[in-house]
Amino acid sequence: MPLRLALLLLVASLTTGCVSSGYDSPLHTGKGRDEARAAYVQLGLGYLQQGMTERAKAPLKKALELDSNDADANAALALVFQAQAEPELAAQYFQKALASRPADPRLLNNYGSFLFQQKRYDLASDYFQQAAADTLYPERSRVFENLGVTSMLLGQRDTARQQLEKALHLNQRQPRALLEMAELSFEDRHYVPARDYYERFSLLSGQNARSLLLGVRLATVHEERDKAARFGQQLERLYPGTPEYQQYLSEQ
């Protein structure tokens, strides 16, 4: 049974009257309200994951009608408005969510990612650091990856390297962190580890304009002319209008 249908059936069952319980509706009990609210949030997130942001709002609104302070519902709405490019509304709902659960690492990381998207890198770093402080958070490696990328944009290369290395110690299969480490190592003229990071990245991820340009540079340094030419051809074919392709042309 598809997840969305299952959630719809669950919501329906929770909101339908139940005579045998002695109540007109399960929503008259605390447990029933909690279950209904959680189901509405999951339904909203299901719509969001499918890109149906407008449809996501209705169940999330119902969740907030049951509890206006519910962190999960507010956080989900924040993601909806973030996807709809309404940053002021997104920030408002992120802050409501964090007011209810200020130490939740998932919320802290998501808000940090939102701030990063808004190019507010200093503030994003603060929230990522708070999220990383929870040593039991299962997605902690992603937080350190986010920290490393943010530190790079803040010009803090040594700190970025430490954070990216930490991310990879926690989870070696992170393409973004591997690509960042490959580029850092290349810039520092550590060409052997740069190639190692790059090859590990390539096993986990498809190429993009940035990675293809780095592939050309690494192949050139290691005198792998055929590989350099192949990466250059891919860059020309797939990303001809990008700054990376223009940079590639200038280096030939």
Query: What pLDDT, in 10s, does the model give residues 194-225?
Result: 999 999 999 999 999 999 999 999 999 999 99
CATH code of residue 223: 1.25.40.10
In this structure, is residue 2 part of a structural domain? no
The last residue of one of the domains, among 102, 135, 157, is: 102
Is residue 27 pLDDT above 80, yes or no? no
In this structure, is residue 125 part of a structural domain? yes
Q: What is the pLDDT of residue 35?
A: 85
Is residue 18 pLDDT above 60, yes or no? no
In this structure, is residue 23 part of a structural domain? no
Q: Are residues 128 and 81 part of one domain?
A: no
Which pLDDT band holds residue 26 (cuts at 50, 70, 90)?
A: low
Of all residues in the chain, what percent carry a pLDDT higher than 90? 82
Q: Are residues 179 and 132 part of one domain?
A: no
Q: What is the pLDDT of residue 77?
A: 97
Is residue 233 pLDDT above 50, yes or no? yes
The better pLDDT of the pair 3, 159 is held by 159
The pTM assigned to this predicted structure is 0.84
Q: DSSP string of the chain? A: --HHHHHHHHHHHHHS--GGGTSS-GGGSHHHHHHHHHHHHHHHHHHHHTT-HHHHHHHHHHHHHH-TT-HHHHHHHHHHHHHTT-HHHHHHHHHHHHHH-TT-HHHHHHHHHHHHHTT-HHHHHHHHHHHHT-TT-TTHHHHHHHHHHHHHHTT-HHHHHHHHHHHHHH-S--HHHHHHHHHHHHHTT-HHHHHHHHHHHHHHS---HHHHHHHHHHHHHTT-HHHHHHHHHHHHHH-TTSHHHHHHHHH-
Q: What is the pLDDT of residue 2?
A: 53
Average pLDDT of the residues in 128-145: 97
